Amino acid sequence: MPDPDSLLQTEIASAFVVQARAFLSTDYLPKIEHCLEQLTDEEVWWRANQESNSIGNLLLHLSGNARQWIVCGLGGAPDQRERQKEFDQRALIPRSRLLATLKQTIVEVDDALERFDSAQMLAPRQIQGTEVTALEAIFHVVEHFSMHAGQIILREAGGFRDILIGAARSFSCTNGWDFVTVSAVPGEPPAIATKHKTNSQKGGLQMVCNRPFYLTIRQQPKVIDLTRCAIEDNEVRKMESDASWKLC
């Protein structure tokens, strides 16, 4: 008679594999695809500095990681990965080709997981020079894919970028106060700003300072609703086309 505990463990292992396949194929990958549809090839390869990774680098990295750990590590395909090249790539590769490569990788990952014997979930194997179980390998690829998918989503949404607004005596907005900092104007004493609640239905605050101060806004366009900033009798107004801000 089969051991009930063994049957339960196999059932759990099988369910784990099914859920991992679903996360990769029907959750994370479509989200990445949607992000790429909103970006140009140039935006996909934009980087904040030479030490940063572009979305293009992340897509190459996701393909390389999933292939090495699942297609090769569990499926037995030859491992020809050159990991560092995923981060060194600078020449523009069209996003359509990057997406096609990632999609093909996920197809092969899904096939390897479909064929995987769940009874071997805890059997040791060598991947990337390290002894791991299949459980660890699958867990790693899913969480790794999720992490970088989140980075791509944030980057597509505009990310956070620091904007130095200029000298002002008062400032008010409805949201995003945790992202606003005050600093002294060069040559002026330190600015002392006080915050006051407003009667805005959105629950905003207002800053009033004893002297002109610089505002630095750490902005994520789809989060912060900046409505007004008085700057030397001018205004900062939202540009509806790209959710950025400008002096008017």
The CATH number of the domain holding residue 24 is 1.20.120.450
| Angle of CA points 166, 197, 194, to nearest 5° | 50
111 and 53, same domain (yes or no): yes
Report the C-alpha gap between 13 and 18 in whole angstroms.
Answer: 9
List of the chain residues with pLDDT < 50:
159-180, 184, 191, 193, 195-205, 213, 215-248
Q: Give the pLDDT confidence score for residue 248 in this predicted structure.
A: 23
Check whether residue 121 and residue 199 sit in a common domain.
no
Structure confidence at residue 240 (pLDDT): 29
> Residue 242's pLDDT is what?
30
The residue segments making up the domain with residue 165 are 161-247
Do both 129 and 172 map to the same domain? no
Say yes or no: 145 and 193 in one domain.
no
Instruction: Using the 3D structure, point to which of 128, 156, 184 is the last residue of a domain.
Output: 156
Give Dmax over CA atoms of the chain in angstroms. Answer: 85
Distance CA 31, CA 107 (A): 16
Does one domain contain both 64 and 40? Answer: yes
* Other Cβ atoms closer than 10 A to 195: 14
pLDDT of residue 69: 98
Q: In this predicted structure, what is the pLDDT of residue 173?
A: 47
Q: Are residues 197 and 178 in the same domain?
A: yes
Tens digits of residue pLDDT in 108-138: 999 999 999 999 999 999 999 999 999 999 9
Q: Kindly state whether residues 147 and 170 are assigned to the same domain.
A: no
Q: Which of 156, 191, 209 is the last residue of a domain?
A: 156
Number of structural domains (the chain) is: 2
191's CB contacts (< 8 A; 6+ apart) are 182, 183, 184, 185, 209, 210, 211, 212, 213, 214
> Does the pTM exceed 0.85?
no
| Residues 175 and 145 occupy one common structural domain | no
Phi/psi for 205 (5° steps) reads: -130, 165
Kindly state whether residues 23 and 121 are assigned to the same domain.
yes
Q: Are residues 237 and 190 in the same domain?
A: yes
Residues 30 and 58 occupy one common structural domain: yes
Domain end residue (candidates: 131, 156, 181) = 156
My answer on whether 141 and 90 are in the same domain is: yes
